């Protein structure tokens, strides 16, 4: 009897770790990993106001891309950090953008308004840009230099070499 109880306890412990592992990065389906990606793929998306944003039009300035969703707790936790990044680095020429993946425009617009997002909020409603950047979980942050090269990919704002890309 004690042997079976130990087995049940071990199984329950393993099962209880599943939500923890999932919360580290919220899963986005159908995005194959592309470690060889060094140049940022160009894209054109609409923002929540309906204006067009084209990445290649930003050449000559560094770009911080923040992929996320409205339902991701990690994404929400990063918002204050990126508000501060926007406040500090936008006057120095950095473009900060948030790309919402696969959610309706109205929902994303309400989210952007309720969180007072100061940076451009783009809509990747079909997930094609997320797939191009191999986004398999959110939040995902990609830092581009002035030439459009990928400098850093991370799941949080820690250790982003922001000053380096402004040089």
Tokens of 6: 């130990």
Hey, what domains does the chain have and what are their CATH numbers? 26-166 (3.40.30.10)
Any idea how long the chain is? Answer: 167
Residue 53 CB-half CA count within 13 A: 22
Q: Which residues contact 140 (CB under 8 A, 6 or more apart)?
A: 25, 66, 67, 68, 133, 153, 154, 155
Q: In degrees rounded to 5, what are phi and psi of residue 143?
A: -105, 125
Please, which residues bridge with residue 26 across strands? 138
Residues 99-129 have pLDDT tens digits of 999 999 999 999 999 999 999 999 999 999 9
Residues 26-85 have pLDDT tens digits of 444 444 445 567 899 999 999 999 999 999 999 999 999 999 999 999 999 999 999 999
Task: Give the number of other Cβ atoms within 10 Å of residue 40's Cβ.
Answer: 23
Residue corresponding to tokens 């042997």:
3
Given the residues 40, 45, 72, 75, select the one marked as catalytic.
75
The model's confidence at residue 160, banded by pLDDT at 50, 70 and 90, is confident
Would you call 75 a catalytic residue per the annotation?
Answer: yes
The model's confidence at residue 8, banded by pLDDT at 50, 70 and 90, is low
């Amino acid at each position: 009897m004690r042997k079976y109880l130990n087995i049940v306890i071990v199984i329950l412990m393993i099962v209880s770790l599943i939500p923890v592992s999932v919360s580290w990065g919220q899963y986005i389906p159908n995005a194959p990993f592309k470690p060889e990606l060094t140049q940022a793929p160009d894209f054109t998306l609409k923002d929540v106001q309906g204006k067009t944003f084209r990445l290649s039009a930003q050449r000559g300035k560094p770009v911080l891309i923040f992929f996320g969703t409205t339902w991701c707790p990690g994404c929400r936790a990063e918002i204050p950090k990126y508000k501060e990044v926007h406040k500090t680095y936008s006057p120095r020429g950095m473009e900060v953008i948030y790309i919402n993946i696969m959610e309706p425009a109205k929902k994303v617009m309400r989210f952007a308004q309720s969180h007072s997002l100061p940076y451009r909020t783009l809509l990747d409603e079909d997930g094609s840009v997320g797939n191009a950047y191999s986004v398999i979980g959110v939040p995902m942050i990609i830092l581009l230099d002035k030439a459009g090269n990928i400098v850093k990919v991370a799941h949080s704002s820690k250790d982003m070499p922001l000053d380096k890309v402004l040089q």
